[in-house]
Amino acid sequence: MRKVVGVLGDLDVDNDSLDVIHDTMDLHSQPAGPVYHPYAKARFMLANTSQSYNPDTADGPSQSTLREVEVEAEVEGPGGMVNSEWRIVKPGSGFHSSQFTLDSSAVGIYVLNLPESLAVGQAVECTLALVIPVGESLDGYAGWITISALDTLGYAVRDSFFLTVRGPQPRQTLDSLRVAPIPFKPHQNPEHDAIHFQGLSAGARVIVYDASGQSVWTATETGDGHLKWDAKVASGIYAYLVVAKDGASKVGKLSVIR
């Protein structure tokens, strides 16, 4: 940010901390598939600079409290520009997809824990979330996020960072494995197109067994953390085994109702 004569404030996004590296936030952790509500999130540090903490030493430090902190997003995806919106969430609160309804009003950029004001030297850890409609991939989103505020003289100060989403990625472990829908009711619910295994690690293998212990389906993750089984089998209870390449495993049961 270039200093303007008369401006007292200096607002910085720390461009090399948390999930912002070299002025870029890369959201690439979301696996593919419909079980998760499609969102990706990452953290950044927002500061009203001081002598002891001034991430961008080309200007600052600040000499003024900052107020009316706002977010502006210029992010474009496959369907065009993405709306921007911010919410204040108390420190320590996490981001959960249940906070957002699955309609068009939820689509956009959300910055959580955004402060209403910042004292000189105050730094706040914020979370940015990109929320998109169910059924759409997170691949192909990119643009700029700008945070602005006013100093005590009414001058605007701002800083920005680049946002990019490279697409679905497999998980590092099986800890976030999700299997749904259970029970699977293809003739009663039109949304039940398949049973989805999501949050898979790279190269994980999924095996489904019937009640007799016979394998009825097996497949291996191929790069996006997601496999789907059409479950064209008789109604009943089935067991699944998920085995990661490192030998870690998860087991569970699922049911098919026709």
| pLDDT digit string, tens, across residues 7-41 | 899 999 999 999 999 999 987 655 566 555 556 78
Rounded distance, CA 16 to CA 32, Å? Answer: 28
pTM: predicted TM-score of the whole model, two decimal places: 0.63
Contact yes or no for 37/134 (Cβ under 8 A): yes
Domains and CATH numbers, the chain: 11-165 (2.60.40), 178-256 (2.60.40.3080)
**DSSP characters over the chain:** ----TT----EEE-TEETTEETTEEE---PPSSSSS-SEEEEEEEEEE--SS--S-TTS----S-EEEEEEEEEEEETTEEEPEEE----TTPPP-GGGS-SSGGG-EEEEET--SEE-TT-EEEEEEEEE--TT--STTEEEEEEEEEE-TTS-EEEEEEEEEE-----BSSSTT-EEE-SSB-TTT-TT-S-EEEESPBTT-EEEEE-TTS-EEEEEE--SSSEEEE---S-SEEEEEEEE-TTS-EEEEEEEE--
What's residue 258's pLDDT?
A: 85
| pLDDT digit string, tens, across residues 126-168 | 988 887 655 556 567 788 999 999 999 999 999 999 998 766 7
Contact yes or no for 78/55 (Cβ under 8 A): no
204: which 2 tokens?
């994980």
Average predicted confidence (pLDDT) for the chain: 83
| pLDDT digit string, tens, across residues 159-178 | 999 998 766 778 889 998 99
139: which 2 tokens?
């691949």
β-strand 24-26 against 156-165: which pairing, if any? parallel
**Percentage, residues of the chain above pLDDT 90:** 53
